[in-house]
Structure 1
Amino acid sequence: MTKSAWSRWIGLAILLGSGPAFAGDTAKGEKLFRNCLACHRLQGDDGATIRKGGRAGPNLFEVIGRLAGSAPNYEYSDGLQALHKSGQVWSKESLTAFVVNPNEFLSVQLGPGHTSKMPFALPNGAADIAEYLANVATTRK
């Protein structure tokens, strides 16, 4: 394994295993989520719109705790379909790592050649967005 591959593995292991050290800020995440609305929306199971957004990406309401690649009515990339088959459930930590670099996350989790359709990476603020998404369902009235 190359030095670059080792450093990616180590970085992801630190990120996924760090728990509270990577806790995000819900209020910051809510503001940063504007960057995601071009492709994603937040819509409850009852059809109520929490945040209007695009439909190029899956609905992110209750994404934390959900099996990867399982939002209804969305055609996932081969990489996300493989992640689904692996049994990956989104946690705040894994979603943060994915948002920081989707293709790198899939490559580390599944091996080289697995990619996402998500063209956007957010190296700063990903933990805040994950924290917001983890809390939006519980704070919804």
Structure 2
Amino acid sequence: MNMRIASIFAICLGATPLWAEGHATGDAEAGEKVFRKCKSCHMIQDDEGNDIQKGGRTGPNLYGIYNRVAGSVEDYRYGDSIVEAGEAGLAWNEEDFTGYVADPKKFLASYLDTNRAKSKMSYRLKDEEDAKNVWTYLVSVGPEVTEADMEKAEATE
């Protein structure tokens, strides 16, 4: 392999993690700080039961939220509207997450095209940058997102 081809190959390999991070545009470190507001209701606990962030259990566990169908965490009692949104195809991505946390009821009403939508989540994270940072933090502490995960997410958008 000549030096030029080797250099291009190395650049492409080095760029892969940047491409893989394309599903989150915020600052994970800043998001961890903002997540302190979320801990009163939400925790982050991995599949083995290890606490990444101890928190309340009023809201669902946010581990592995990237591309997870809304309203689908087993053994959590969701409101009807969020379950309906999941059944209608809502799988969490940055855009929908930031829209939802800004105003959960308004987001669900728009997504479901009904004024009767309700949300059990009363807190609003209106600052879009904070919401993107929290999203990035959640994705960063979740399971590794593979290229296949990203392709699946793109196919559902």
Superposed pair shares fold, TM > 0.5:
yes
Q: 2:80 aligns with which of 70, 78, 82?
A: 78
Measure how far apart 1:87 and its partner are.
1.8
Moved over 3 A (4+): none
Counterpart in the other structure of 1:12: none
Identity across matched positions, percent: 39
Counterpart Cα distance in 2 of 1:23 and 1:73: 31
Write the letter of the residue equivalent to 1:63: I
Instruction: Say which SS state the counterpart of residue 23 (structure 1) adopts.
Output: coil
Tell me how far 1:23 sits from its aligned partner.
2.3
Deviation at 1:138, TM superposition (A): 5.0
Measure the CA separation in 1 of the matches of 2:74 and 2:49. Answer: 13
Query: What letter matches 1:33 in structure 2?
Result: F
Distance 2:143 2:109 in 1: 32
Larger radius of gyration: 2
TM-score, normalisation: structure 1? 0.80
Match of 2:132 among 113, 127, 141: 127
Unaligned runs of 5+ in 1: 1-19
RMSD of Structure 2 on Structure 1 (CA): 1.5
Which runs of no fewer than 5 residues in structure 2 stay unpaired?
A: 1-21, 145-157
Kindly report which structure 2 residues correspond to 1:87-126, keeping only aligned pairs within 5 A, or say none: 87-110=89-112, 111-124=114-127, 125-126=130-131
* TM-score of the aligned structures, taking structure 2 as reference length: 0.72
* Cα deviation code 1:35-91 (max 9, x no counterpart): 000000000111111100000000000111101100111100011111121021100
Q: Deviations over 1:8-58 (max 9, x none)?
A: xxxxxxxxxxxx7x8211111110000000000000111111100000000
Output the CA distance in 2 between the equivalents of 1:137 and 1:62: 5
